[in-house]
Amino acid sequence: MAAENVATVKRAIAAVNARDVDSYLACCTDDVRLRTPLVPIEGSYEGAAGIRRFFSDVAATGPDFRLEIERIDAVGPNRVLTFMRVVASGRKSGVDMGTETTNIYDLVDRKIRRIEIFTDRQEALRTAKSRA
């Protein structure tokens, strides 16, 4: 199961980079929830409509946005942890907006149900361990 979950997450990340929202949604449960570091400001992205909004926000903010996987590990039967580099520059400013993130993916039946994105890797590791 863990290997299949890692494969699902890799497909989802590839779909983000390809701007293929339908392929991304095919990797997710109907009630998928994406929490970014901007949750206090923008709220989380929930369900198919939320994921479509996330893709739209990405396109509006950084047209060259892409995710580069540094490391990906199954950390239990239904959880995947990724260390990634976000590569992006501002649409109007051209300023480098890239950053490193650690993402926690919780899966059900090889489908992504929840994604939490952290810019603080230690916080992500603590969160992943606390839910084990």
**Predicted confidence (pLDDT) at residue 113 exceeds the cutoff of 90:** yes
| pTM for the whole structure | 0.90
The helix (run of H) or strand (run of E) holding residue 115 is strand 111-118
Q: What percent of the chain is predicted at pLDDT more than 70?
A: 89
How far apart, in whole angstroms, are the C-alpha atoms of residue 94 and residue 24? 27
What are the extents of the domains in the chain?
Answer: 2-130
How far apart, in whole angstroms, are the C-alpha atoms of residue 53 and residue 112? 17
| Distance (Å) of CA 33 to CA 45, 108, 109 | 6, 13, 16
Provide Rg for the chain, Cα atoms.
Answer: 14
Q: pLDDT confidence of 92, banded at 50, 70, 90?
A: low
Q: Specify the fold of 2-130.
A: Nuclear Transport Factor 2; Chain: A, (3.10.450)
| Distance (Å) of CA 132 to CA 54, 79, 87, 116 | 28, 9, 30, 15
SS3 at position 117? strand
